[in-house]
Structure 1
C-alpha cells in the first residue's frame, strides 16, 4: 500500500494546467478561474474624500466656543471649493476633501445653527479622511492568475472598471459506471438489482466544483460495452472517472478495457479507510481515474483525491485546500494498518475550539452518514483516541468547492 499523502500528491499533479482561455464578461465571472493577473488601473479612492458625514476644517482654525461659518455644502459627486481660513464646509460620506482642509469632524461632535458650526469635541489632525490610493494603487497586482473568482473579487473588479476578463475554459468530465446489478433511480428494481447512486452523486460533486458539463454513461459487464463507453467519453471529456470494476473478479473488466484502447493502468492500494482501491491511467493524454464502487468510499476518495486533480485541470493556484484541526469527541481505538477518515459533524465549545462528533456507524456501506456529515476527520493507523485528542479535519465546504 502507498501512503495517503503520496497518493494525494500524485493525483494533484496528474493533470496539466490548462492552456486554452476565453474572454468572460464580468457579469458571468462568478466561479471562473482567472487566466491573467489583474492590476489596479485606478487609485482607490481616486482622491482624498470624507469617511463620515461631518465638517471639513483646518485644525488650526478650531478653538473652544468658536463658531465657523459654513462656506459650502458639498455632497458626494460635487466639486468642493477651496476652504477659506476660519470657515467650514459641510461634507458627507464620499465627498471630495476640499483643498485646504486637513480634518473632518463627524457631525455627532458638532452643533450647527444659522451662524455656523461649533465644534463640541476637538478632533485629532487628519481624522475621518480616506486618502487617495490607500485601498488600491495603480499597477498593484490585485488578483493573481489561477484564482477562483468569488463575489468579493467581482466587487473589486467592478470598482476598478474591469468589464471583461481572460479566464480558463471550463471542464467537461465523464463518469462511467459499470455493473449489471445497477439500475437508474425511478426504474423498477428487478431481483438482485440496486439503484445506481454513484453516478448522480459524482455528478453533483463535480457540479459543486464548477465543472461545466458532466457526461454519465453506464455500461453492462462486457469488455466491448465498457471499451465503447470509455472511447465515447474520452472523445469529448477532459477527465474520465470510472466507478468499480478494477479488481480481479471475472467481471472486473475496466482494466482490460482501458488497456485495449492504449491506456496503462497504475493500480494503487492506498493506506486509507474507506477507499483503499484507486487507479490512475492516461489515455489520449487525458487522465482517467478509477474509483472504488462503494458509494461511501467513492465519495471520500473523490473529495480528498480527485478534487485536487480537478482544481489543477481548471488552472487554480491552490489545488489542496486548508486542513484544520478539531478535538474528536468520545474515546475509541482504531485498529488496522490504514489511516481512517471518519465522517463527523463540526461544532465548537465555549472557548471557540472546533469539535468533531463522529457518526454512530462508520461502516463503508452506510450512505445515510453522507448527508449527516460535514467533514472527514483523519485518524492515524492503529491509534487510541482519548478525550481531548486533536485530529486533522477535511471539511467538505473546502474540499468540495
Structure 2
C-alpha cells in the first residue's frame, strides 16, 4: 500500500489545467477560475476623498482657537473648487477632497456657527483622507490567474468596471457506479438490494467544487458493460470517478476493465482508513479515480484525494487547502497500522482552543455521520494517540469547496 501523503501528491501531479478558456459576464463569474492575471484599469478610489463626515482643511491653516470660514459644501458626486488658504470645506463620506486640502477633521471634533468652523481638538495631518489608488492602483495586478472567484472578487471587478472575465472552462466530470445490488432512489427495493446513494452524493460533492457533472452512469457487474462506460466517459469528460469495484472480489471489475480498454493504472491501494481501495488510472489521457464502494469511504477519499486533483484541473493556484490542529477528544488510546481519518465535529472552546469530537460510531457504513461531522481528524499510523492529543484536522468547508 502507498503512504497517504505520497498517494495524495500523485493525484495532484496527475493533472494539469484545462486548455479550454472562455469569457463570461460578471454576473456569471462566481465559482469560475480566472484564466489570466488581471490588472487594475483605473485607480480605486479614482480621486482623493473623505473617509468621514467632517471638514477639509489645509493643515498649515490650523491654529488652536482660530475659526475658519466655510468656503463650500461638497456632497458625494460634487466636483469641488480648490480650497483657498485660511478656509474650510464641509464634506461628507465619499466627498472629493478639494485641491490644496490635505486633512479631514471629523464633525464630532468640530463646531460650526454662522458659517464659521471651530476645531475642538488638534488634527493630525492627512487623517481621514482616502488617497487615489490606495485600494487598487492603475495597471497593478489585482487578481492572479488561478483565483476561484467569489463575491469579494466580484466586488473588485465591478469596481473596476470590468464586465467580461477570462476563465477556464468548467471541468466536466463523469460518474460511474457499479454493483448489481444497487437500485435508484424512487424505485422499489427488491430482496438484497440497496439504494444507490453514491451517485447522488458524488454529483453533489462535484458540483460543490464548481464542476459540471455531464454524465452519471450505472453499469451492471460485467466487464463489457463497465469497459463500454469507461470508454464513453473518458472520451467525453475531463475527469472520471468510479465507485465500487476496485477491490479484489470476483465482481470487482473496474480495474480489469480499465486495463482491458488500454488504460494505464498509476496507483492502487492507499494506506488509509477508510478508503484503502483507491485507484488512479488514465484512459484516453483522461484521469480516472476509482473510489471505494462504501459511501463513507468514497466521501472521505473524495474530500482528501479527489479534490486536490480537481483544483489542479480547474486551474486553481492552490491544490491543497489549509489544515489546522485540534485536541482529539477520544475516550481511549487509538493505534492503527493505517492513517485513520475520523469523522469529527470541531468545537472552539472559550479559550480559543480547537477540540475535535469523534462521532460515536466510526464504522464505514454509518452514512449519517457525514451530515453530523464538520471534517476529518487524522490519526497517524503506528502511533499511540491518547485523549487530548493534538492531531491534524481537515475541515470539509475548505476541502470540499
Same fold (TM over 0.5): yes
Deviation at 1:315, TM superposition (A): 0.7
Match of 1:312 in 2: 312
Q: Distance in 2 between matches of 1:316 and 1:33?
A: 6
Deviation readout 1:296-348 (Å, 9 max, x if unpaired): 11100010001111111111110110011111113422233101100000111
Give unpaired runs (5+ residues) of structure 2: none
CA distance, structure 1, for counterparts of residue 334 and residue 273 of structure 2: 11
**Following TM superposition, by how much is the alpha carbon of 1:16 offset from its aligned partner in structure 2, in angstroms?**
2.2
> Once the two structures are superposed, what CA deviation does each residue of 1:203-243 show, in whole Å capped at 9, x if it has no partner?
11000000123411111111221122222222311111111
Q: How much has 1:267 moved relative to structure 2? A: 4.5
**Alpha-carbon distance in structure 2 between the residues aligned to 1:331 and 1:122:** 62
Aligned to 1:294: 294
Residues 1:132 and 2:132 are matched in the alignment: yes
Cα pair 1:206 1:214 within 8 Å, conserved: no
Deviations 1:228-269 (A, max 9, x none): 222222231111111111223222221222122211223422
Aligned-partner Cα distance in 2 for 1:256–1:5: 26
Q: Secondary structure at the residue paired with 1:60?
A: helix
Kindly state the Cα deviation for residue 187 of structure 1 after the two structures are TM-superposed.
0.9
Gaps of 5+ in 1: none
Tell me the residue number matched to 2:372: 372
How far apart in 1 are the matches of 2:180 and 2:132?
Answer: 68
Distance 1:287 1:240 in 2: 6
* 1:280-359 alignment, distance < 5 Å: 280-359=280-359
Paired position in structure 2 for 1:2: 2
1:61-112 CA-partner distances (Å, limit 9, x unpaired):
2233322211111111111111112211111111111112121111111111
Superposition TM-score, scaled by structure 2 size: 0.97
TM-score, normalised relative to structure 1:
0.97
Structure 1 CA distance, aligned partners of 2:120 and 2:207? 59
Do the aligned residues in 2 keep the contact of 1:333 with 1:383 (CA within 8 Å)? no
Aligned pairs, number? 401
Pairing 1:175–2:175 present: yes
What secondary structure sits across from 1:155 in the alignment?
Answer: helix
The match for 1:32 is 32
Map 1:44-83 onto structure 2 (within 5 A): 44-83=44-83
Residue 388 (str. 1) matches residue 388 (str. 2): yes
Q: Which residue of 1 aligns with 2:22?
A: 22
Report the aligned-residue RMSD: 1.3
* Secondary structure of the corresponding residue to residue 398 of structure 1: helix
1:275 corresponding residue in structure 2? 275
